[in-house]
Structures are given as structure tokens and as C-alpha cells.
Structure 1
Amino acid sequence: MDLLGTLAHQLQQLKQQAEQIDQQPSYGKPQNWFDSSVFSCRSPHLTDYVLEAQRHLQHLQTNNLSSATKQRLVQRLSEQTSALTRAFRNVDTRHKPAAKAVKVKAAVQQLSATSQQLYQQLSDTQEFERRLLDMISLANRDNSADAIQRSLALHARLGRCRKALTDIELQIQDLEQRN
């Protein structure tokens, strides 16, 4: 296989890899891959740059070019393939989310989970308060000594329950003020 054939094969392989890379989600604002002195296209997709290099190769393979034009095309193609090779080696850094974005997302998820947990805890405690009030009303119907003791114990539990409700509401308020 001649050199141009080998280069055409390599560019075809790069195109397939570029198509796979372009399908991966990229984080942040899309940017151009290369300097304008190397490629004339401006695109966030790596495939567009490989296609430009393939067009230059096809143009080079035409026979009616002067030797100066062929030399310029070979130089340009050399720069492009070198730049493409470097880009493929460093593609992981372009597609990884920024560390700060990952930390922010984790913090938001944690706050959301904490918020949901607090609201669930508030709901559960309010339900417990309602049940205690029902039990107290039942105990107050009976005037026996045992019922009075039970009523006092239920009032003590109700006091602790209401203190817990106040604490949970303060935690929710603090969490919402931080956001």
C-alpha cells in the first residue's frame, strides 16, 4: 500500500473514532478543537475536522496539481494529522465534567436528600402528635386513677413530640435559608 493509501486508511479509522467521541456528552460550553492556522472549520465535533483532512487528502490525490501546491497540501495534511492524533490522546480531558461541577451536583443532591428527609421526619412526627392527641382524648374520657396516670404520661410524650417538631422546623428553616 502506498503512503497516501495508508494515510487514507488512518484517516478513515480516525473518522470512526471521532464519530464515537462526538456521541459522548461533553460538559460545559462546546468549543472549537483546533487553532485556525491548522483547520479552517470551526466545530465542536471532532468528525468535522477529520472530514476536512480527508478532503485535503482527496485534493492531493488529483494529478493536475503543481509541485508547490502538492507540497503545501502535504505540509497542511501533516499538521492536521499530528493535531488530530494529539486531540485523540487528550479527548478524555475534554469530555470529563469539571471537578467543581461534580462537587456542586453532589452537594445539591445531598441538600435535596437532606431536605426530603427533614420533611419526611416532620410528617412522621406530626402524625405521631396527632395519634398522641387522640390517645389523650380517649384517656380523658375515663376518670379512673389509671387513666389519669396514662394521660399524664401521654402529655409528657406530647411535650417531647412538640419539642421535636420545633427542632425539625428550625432545621428546615436553616436549610432553606442557606439555599
Structure 2
Amino acid sequence: MSSPLDRLNQQIVRLAEQAKSFDNAKWFDKNRYIQAQPSLFDRTVFATKSLILSDYVEEIKAQIKHLPPIEKRHAYGFAIQRVATQVEAIIRVLKSTPVWAKENKARFSKKNKVYKKAVQKIMQSSHELYQELSQNYEFERRLLEMVELRRTKLDKANKEEASAINQQILALHARLGRCRKAISATEAKIQQVEKQQNR
């Protein structure tokens, strides 16, 4: 049985065919506004600068080929999300030509649904967990900053102030412990979800 990532790759191959047909139809040749642009997409979406749609599909293929390992959860989740954004951007361009939309509506719509299902399968449960993990890491970072701040104050504090600051540091360490437990639990959940998805 193919994995969600294999199915996503199959959809990208089909998207490449759609983009090639689109380029061959030369929809942009008579559009002076587009011809004057250095790139079809915003640079925050694609690094590629081209007026040929297939060039952007090649960038997506390269990104999928070099996805970070699943163990690097933040990077993997971010890369998958970026691919999803890029594919949706190409789909919008493909559907922007009325003649193209009319000729390909049924066929393209079906393929688009299959693609979205493939991405959704990868992203559904793990996407929320990646967000949760990110929030937990951010919380851990803030707690460490608060501990460091109080340690700096401790160096300048008198005996009475030092006692109160030490209590605060102990309380923060307790919160850090709970936060790190939450991080481990979320990482375990992500691993479980991704194992199930790859079955």
C-alpha cells in the first residue's frame, strides 16, 4: 500500500502534466501585464523566477525530494505546509483561464480533490500536533528566559529578596518540568500518527 507521501508525489506528476499543457497553450503571450512581471508568483511562495508554470512545479518536486526527515518535526511540518501552499498557488493559476477551466473542469476538479486528500492525510492530525509542539517549545523558551532574568536579579539581591527570588526560580523549574513532559507527550503522539499514516 502506498504511503500518503507516495500518493502526493503521484499528484505532483499529474500537476506537472497540467502545467505543461498550460504552458504549451501560451495563455500569457498576449497578456502584457504578466509579460512585464519578473515572476508569476510572490517570492515568499516560490524562489523560482519565471513566466513558465512548469518551472514552479520543478521547484515543488525538488522540495519533496529533499524533505527533512520526519524526526525533525518542525522542519518536516513546515516543508509539507509550504508544498501545500505552492500547489494551491499553481492550481489558482491553472483555473484562472476561463477556456482552460471550461475544458478541464471535471477532469481537473477530480485530480485536485485527490491531491487535497493526499495532503490532508499527511497534515490532518499531525498539523494540529505540530502547532501544539511549537506552542510548547515557545512556552519552554519563555520560561527559560524568566529563569535567567531572576538569576541575574539574584546576583544583586539582598538576603530577603534572594529568598523570594529563589522560590520563584523553583516554581519556574516546576513549570519547566511540566512543559517538557508536554513536549515529550506531543512528540510521541506525532510519531504515533505518522506511523499510522505510513501503514
TM class by smaller structure: 0.3 to 0.5
TM-score (norm 1): 0.47
TM-score (norm 2): 0.42
